[in-house]
Amino acid sequence: MRKKVILITGASGEIGHALVDNLAEGGDCELVTLDLQELPDAAARKVKRHIKGSITDKMTLDAIASEYEIDVIYHLAALLSTRAEVIPGTAHRVNVEGTLLLLEMAAEQSQFRGKPVQFIFPSSIAAYGMPDLETKAAYPRVREWEWNYPTTMYGANKLYCERLGIYFSDHYKQLSEERPTTLDFRCLRYPGLISAFTVPSGGTSDYGPEMLHAAAKGVPYHCFVRPDTSINFMAMPDAVKAALSLAAAPAKSLTQRVYNITAFGLSAEQFRDQVVKAFPGAEIGYQIHEKRQGIVDTWPMDTDDKHARRDWGWQPDYGMERCFEEYLVPNIRKRYE
């Protein structure tokens, strides 16, 4: 008999770190992780097995599928928006082709065991593309189906994988006589995430967390977007809570497969104000990177998450003040002390 597990891809990344901790605490099911990097020791002790490998390698995925019965997949591995613009072909291979291989694996497993494999997928505000700043100001809280015109490789990858996930859940093998048991795809469109314990890399919303971590370390920081640049952000514990809540929601309560979730919107200058309030000596200036600015300008100021609130009771624990005062600042201080 194969052993029942939860599979987490990209487990060494920012969300992966926090998710492994939470799932290991719950202890309901054993964890198997897959990442190009080793897992840090503390996390490695919490999982049944870590596999160092790529989601683009079908042999690795086949080996996992033959050994384990996968109940849930948290598919976190991805190249983020800035990195993806540097190596767009690789981004497509990882973000799209890797996701397709995993969806195929989940579809086969669902069919084999006669029960849907749950597939939890983090999408992003990068799936949106506001054409100009006037439109961004005129539509401050976009709904899931609005302005789905991403201008980045990463955003296009995320939006397409949302559609692929819906296909595999709702229309897979739609012409066959007997519909197979299909997988259960559930997706969250995250805002910019901020963790007290890890510094992001390769993203374009990174200016927020970067200025905070730089201030705590006592090093100067040059923010690469204009002070008035506004997008929404979320504390990492809320990001993890959202993934777990969506996974735990009864299928019958879900009216869609892709949900916006948001916590608080703020401008780069408001972000800077919060950082300077906590670290009064912080040296934070602006050195605008026009091209990265152009990317953030296409992302909405905020998203409308009323469907997540209605269908599965989504509610962030951390608004802006609580996020800085109770989560970010005390933990970051401790980290760099």
Binding site for ligand AKB (CB under 6 A): 80-81, 124-126, 154, 192, 203-205
Q: Indicate left, alpha or beta for 233 from its phi (over 0: left) and psi (-120 to 50: alpha).
A: beta
- Residue 334 and residue 330: Cα distance in Å, rounded? 6
Q: Smallest gap, in angstroms, from Cβ of residue 80 to ligand AKB?
A: 4
Of residues 83, 80, 79, 24, the one with CA closest to residue 50: 24
Tokens encoding 309 = 């609130």
Of all residues in the chain, what percent are helix, strand and coil, respectively (each to 5)? 45, 20, 35
Nearest to 76 by CA among 102, 38, 52, 106: 102
CB of 256 to ligand AKB, least distance (A): 20
d(CA 297, CA 289): 12
Those residues with Cβ within 8 angstroms of residue 49's Cβ, 6 or more apart along the chain or in another chain? 32, 33
Q: Which pair of structure tokens corresponds to residue 121?
A: 């997928």
Identify whether the C-beta of residue 33 lies closer than 8 Å to the C-beta of residue 8.
Answer: yes
CB-nearer residue toward ligand AKB: 147 or 154:
154
Q: Which is nearer to ligand AKB, 272 or 292 (CB)?
A: 292
The residue (of 162 and 184) whose beta carbon lies closer to ligand AKB is 162
DSSP state of 293: H
| Contact yes or no for 275/202 (Cβ under 8 A) | no
Instruction: State how far Cα 307 lies from the chain centre.
Output: 18
CA distance 161 to 169: 12
User: What is the nearest approach in angstroms of ligand AKB to the Cβ of residue 209?
Assistant: 9
**β-bridge pairing 118-124 and 184-190:** parallel
Beta-bridge partners for 186: 120
The minimum distance between CB 313 and ligand AKB, in angstroms, equals: 24
Nearer to ligand AKB, 224 or 314 (CB): 224
Decide: residue 1, CB within 10 A, 0-12 exposed, 13-18 middle, 19+ buried: exposed
Q: How far is the CB of 210 from ligand AKB (least distance, A)?
A: 11
Pick 124 or 195: Cβ nearer ligand AKB? 124
CB of 310 to ligand AKB, least distance (A): 24
CB closer to ligand AKB, 116 vs 316: 316
Tokens found for residue 274 = 């919060």
Residue whose beta carbon is closest to ligand AKB: 203
**Distance of closest approach, residue 262 Cβ to ligand AKB, in angstroms:** 12
Beta carbon of residue 41, minimum distance to ligand AKB (angstroms, whole number):
26
- Write down the least CB distance from residue 217 to ligand AKB, Å: 21
Which residue number, 68 or 128, has a Cβ lying nearer to ligand AKB?
Answer: 128
| Closer residue to ligand AKB in complex, CB, 172/224 | 224
Q: What gap in Å lies between CA 292 and CA 299, rounded to an integer?
A: 11
Smaller CB distance to ligand AKB: residue 205 or 274? 205
Indicate the SS3 state at residue 7. Answer: strand
